[in-house]
Each structure stands twice: as C-alpha cells, then as structure tokens.
C-alpha cells in the first residue's frame, strides 16, 4: 500500500510523496494509485482549473480522503473554496474505470462544471464495472448555461449499457444554472442518502431522469422541499426499465412524482414513495408508472379505515385496456383461521353513480389453500376472457366521508377461498379502464 498527496497549489517536487511535494493534478494522483489499498490525500482548499474535458480512470481499489493539510482533519472543500473543474470554462469531468471489479471510496469532493456548452459530471462511466462510494459530494453547475448539462450516473449515452455500475452517495449537494439542468441515471444502481440544493441555485423543472435500461435509484432522507411547486421529480425515462424509490424524503408542494412517459408502457419508468412529507402532511405511500398513479387522498375515506382518515386515489392513463391493465401493488394482511372467507376491497367513485364493470375494475387475492405448501393460489373476479362484462357489487356496508351527492360505492373481489393455515392474505386492485379515477380503501375486508 502506498500513500500519495494531491494539492493543485503545491510548489514542491510534484511527485505526490509528501504534502509539500504533492501532485498538482488529480489525474497524476489517480494514475499513481494503481495498487489495491493505495490512499490519496486531497487538500481541501486545492483549486484545480482543468485545461480540457478530463476522464479519470481508476486502476485499483483505492481510498481518497479530503483533509486540511495543516490539521490533517477531514474537511469539506465546499466549506473552504476548494474544487476541481472550472468556474469559467467549458469542462466535463468523468470518473470511470477500465479495470473490472474495483471499489473506490472518495471522501468529500467539490466539482465545478461551468461554461456555455453542454457539460457534465459523469460518475462511474465504466464498462468494466465499478463500485464508486462517495461520502459527500458537491456539484456546482451555477455558472453553466448549457441547456442539457447534467450530473450523470452511469453510461455516457442513452444507447450504452455498462456492467455493474454502482454509485453510493452519502450526501449530494448541487447548484443548478438553468431550469433544464438535471440528474441522469444511465444503466446504473444509484443510492443517494441525503440531497440538498445549496446557495443561489436555479431550480430545475425536472430533477431526475432514468435514461438507460436497468437504472435503479434508491433515495432516502433527501430534502427536496425547496424545489418549486409543480416540479417533476422523475421525468421521461428514455430506456426501460428505470425504477426510483423515495423513502423518508421531503417533497415540494404540488410535486409530480412521475412525468408522462413518451413510450407509454409501464416498464419505461416506475416510481415508489414511502413515508415522505410535504410540509407537515404525511405521504405514507405513492406509486406511478406510465399506466397510472396511486396517491393519498385525505379528503375521501371509508369511515372504518384502519389506516386513518385517508384512501388512495387511483387514476389511469389512456393506454390502459382490459387486457393490458394498470396493476396496483400488492397489499398483505394477516388472517387467523382456516374457515372459508371472501376477501374484498371497498372502492368509491365520486361524481358518477354508475357501477364499474368487472372488465374495468377488479381485485386479485392470494392465499395458502394447500396444507404444507407455501405457494399461494390466485383468485380474481375479473371478467372471463372473451366474456360478458357484469357490474361489480354495490357496497351497502361501508360508509365514506367526503363523497359528493352523486357517487357509487362498490366491492371488488369477493371470491371464496379457504386458507389451509393462518397466514397472510395478499390482495391488489387491477384497473382495465382508461382514464379511470376512483378511491381505494386498502384494508382487506372479509
């Protein structure tokens, strides 16, 4: 294991051997650290203005620590004016590897991406497969006016697929320069814990894009509340599939979880939100894909709702049909006993007194009905293939709050099954009607 030093303002021998003789370019330090376990110490106040677009290809599993060379304490360059890139010129920065199976740890970095052309910070543009772990990173696009400039995680283009590109960021801080700046995820596994837009940033109209097949993004503990009302959180996912999950995040008012998808198929983009907030309003769950959206509605709810004064508003797009429906996520509920049951969901349609037919809205339930077998059996009240539609059962047992004078309340499911043992009953709503809108009480009723 070797130790190297990097400080763009060093005046010594520039061979990386000591703080005084530190490499004056980050490229030289990356090139020298070519053995697994090598360490680079990066001076936090170092300011390196790149002469051209630059790619850093890691050659080994190394660790890079950003410290104050005077105190040897971990220091954030964002706090002391340090950066790599350029504050004035057109520069792109790429972190990559041509060696398979590397893990690179980077502690506290600040990248400045300026200029008038489209320029990017690209993390893990690696065909070989690279696990890039970044403790804290600041990306400043404030002085960049390129309309398509971005932070990109993964492949260099929307047509490329890279192997095992993984990026973990403990805290991501950004400043954007124009409203069309964004964060692209291209065929990578990205985990971001903590997100902040700092300083006098221009707020983006769309924050994230999934632009390559296989993009998987997990975001937690991110504060997005300072984005403008109506911000699209995830935009058009050019490739498929792209899967985004937000948990324990603060969202802006009037947010749109997923924009309309150009491809119009569910695999284009899929977004989940768990245990999030808008102001003081709790968002326990939300889900969107190109066929529909499920969003909390605190104004309309079944009076005996066990999860509180809320239901979930389901809306579908024009692409939905009986044979290509919108599938809601599965709900599970523990059930004691082995007697015959007929589980169902309560739904309500506000503004119309017309019942849904069983080719428009139906339910699927699954239970363990064979003794000693863990495999569940599926039951559905969907219209038989090529069958004749029939109206779903009107629900006279469940009262709702918040519905208008014209409404319809229904039961979907009600297929008899006999559990072989106590256990979970799984259920979900399926919608085969385009442009549908109704409320779903997620309690499984028997």
Structural domain boundaries of the chain? 3-313, 326-445
What CA–CA distance (Å, rounded) separates 127 from 154? 9
The whole-number pLDDT of residue 164 equals 75
The whole-number pLDDT of residue 110 equals 95
The whole-number pLDDT of residue 137 equals 95
- Paired with 281 in beta bridges are 278
Do the Cβ atoms of 352 and 360 come closer than 8 Å? no
Question: In the block, which residue shows the tokens 């069983």?
Answer: 358
Per-residue pLDDT of the chain (446 residues; tens, 9 = 90+): 899 999 999 999 999 999 999 999 999 999 999 999 999 999 999 999 999 999 999 999 999 999 999 999 999 999 999 999 987 788 889 999 989 899 999 999 999 998 888 888 889 888 788 899 999 999 999 888 889 889 999 887 776 666 678 999 999 999 999 999 999 998 889 999 999 998 789 999 999 998 887 889 999 999 999 999 999 999 988 877 889 999 999 999 999 999 998 888 888 889 999 999 999 999 999 999 999 999 999 999 999 887 789 999 999 999 999 999 999 999 999 999 999 999 999 999 999 999 999 999 999 999 999 988 889 999 999 999 999 999 999 999 999 999 999 999 999 999 999 999 999 999 999 999 999 999 999 999 99
What CA–CA distance (Å, rounded) separates 89 from 137? 21
Q: How far is CA 241 from CA 126, 189, 332, in A?
A: 20, 12, 25
The whole-number pLDDT of residue 344 equals 98
The whole-number pLDDT of residue 393 equals 98
Do the Cβ atoms of 165 and 216 come closer than 8 Å? no
Q: What is the CA radius of gyration of the chain?
A: 26
Classify 181 as helix, strand or coil: coil
Strands 281-289 and 292-297: antiparallel
Q: How far is CA 211 from CA 128, 188, 214, 431, in A?
A: 20, 10, 9, 28
The closest alpha carbon to 305, from 371, 431, 400, 413, belongs to 400
What CA–CA distance (Å, rounded) separates 56 from 33? 12
What CA–CA distance (Å, rounded) separates 19 from 13? 10
Classify 228 as helix, strand or coil: coil
The whole-number pLDDT of residue 323 equals 94
Please, what's the b/e burial string for 173-205 (b: 16 or more CB within 10 A of its CB; e: otherwise)?
bbbbbbebbbbbbbbbbbbbbbbebeeebbebb
**Largest CA-CA distance found in the chain, in angstroms, rounded:** 85
Residues ≥6 apart with Cβ < 8 Å to 403:
300, 348, 350, 409
Please, what's the b/e burial string for 79-114 (b: 16 or more CB within 10 A of its CB; e: otherwise)?
eeebbbbbeebbbbbbbbbeeeebebbbbbbbbbbb
The whole-number pLDDT of residue 163 equals 65
Please, what's the b/e burial string for 120-136 (b: 16 or more CB within 10 A of its CB; e: otherwise)?
bbbbbbbbbbbbbbbbb
Residue 256 has phi, psi (to 5 degrees) of: -115, 115
pTM, to two decimals? 0.93
């Amino acid at each position: 294991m070797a130790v190297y030093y990097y400080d763009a303002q060093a005046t010594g021998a520039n061979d990386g051997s000591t703080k005084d003789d530190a490499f004056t370019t980050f490229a030289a330090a990356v090139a020298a650290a070519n053995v697994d376990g090598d360490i680079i110490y990066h001076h936090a106040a170092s300011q390196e203005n790149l002469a051209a677009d630059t790619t850093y290809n890691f050659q080994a599993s190394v660790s890079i620590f950003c410290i104050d060379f005077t105190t040897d304490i971990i220091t954030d360059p964002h706090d002391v004016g340090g950066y790599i890139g350029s504050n004035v010129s057109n520069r792109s920065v790429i972190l990559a590897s041509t060696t398979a199976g590397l893990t690179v740890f980077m502690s506290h970095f600040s990248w400045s991406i300026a200029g008038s052309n489209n320029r990017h910070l690209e993390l893990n543009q690696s065909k070989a497969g690279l696990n890039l772990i970044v403790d804290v990173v600041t990306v400043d696009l404030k002085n960049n006016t390129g309309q398509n400039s971005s932070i990109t995680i993964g492949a260099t283009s929307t047509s490329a697929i890279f192997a095992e590109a993984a990026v973990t960021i403990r805290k991501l801080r950004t400043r954007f320069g124009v409203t069309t700046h964004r964060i692209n995820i291209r065929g990578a596994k990205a985990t971001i814990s903590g997100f902040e837009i700092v300083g006098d940033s221009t707020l983006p109209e769309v924050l994230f894009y999934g632009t390559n097949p296989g993009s998987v993004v997990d975001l937690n503990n991110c504060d997005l509340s300072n984005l403008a009302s109506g911000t699209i959180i995830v935009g058009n996912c050019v490739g498929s599939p792209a899967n985004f999950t937000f948990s324990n995040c603060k969202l802006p008012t009037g947010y749109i979880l997923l924009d309309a998808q150009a491809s119009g198929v569910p695999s284009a983009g899929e977004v989940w939100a768990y245990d999030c907030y808008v102001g003081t309003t709790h968002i326990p769950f939300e889900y969107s894909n190109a066929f529909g959206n499920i969003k909390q509605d605190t104004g309309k709810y079944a009076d005996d709702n066990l999860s509180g004064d809320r239901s979930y508003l389901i809306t579908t797009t024009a692409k939905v049909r009986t044979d290509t429906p919108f599938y809601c996520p599965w709900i599970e509920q523990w059930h004691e006993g082995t007697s015959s049951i007929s589980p169902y969901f309560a739904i309500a349609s506000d503004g119309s007194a017309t019942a849904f037919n069983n080719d428009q809205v139906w339910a699927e339930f699954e239970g363990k009905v064979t003794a000693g077998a863990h495999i569940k059996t599926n039951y559905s009240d969907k219209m038989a293939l090529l069958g004749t539609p029939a109206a779903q059962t009107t629900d006279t047992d469940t009262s709702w709050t918040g519905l208008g004078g014209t409404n319809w309340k229904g039961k979907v499911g009600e297929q008899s099954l006999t559990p072989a043992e106590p256990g979970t009953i799984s259920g979900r709503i399926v919608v085969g009607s385009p442009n549908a809108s109704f409320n779903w009480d997620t309690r499984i009723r028997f």
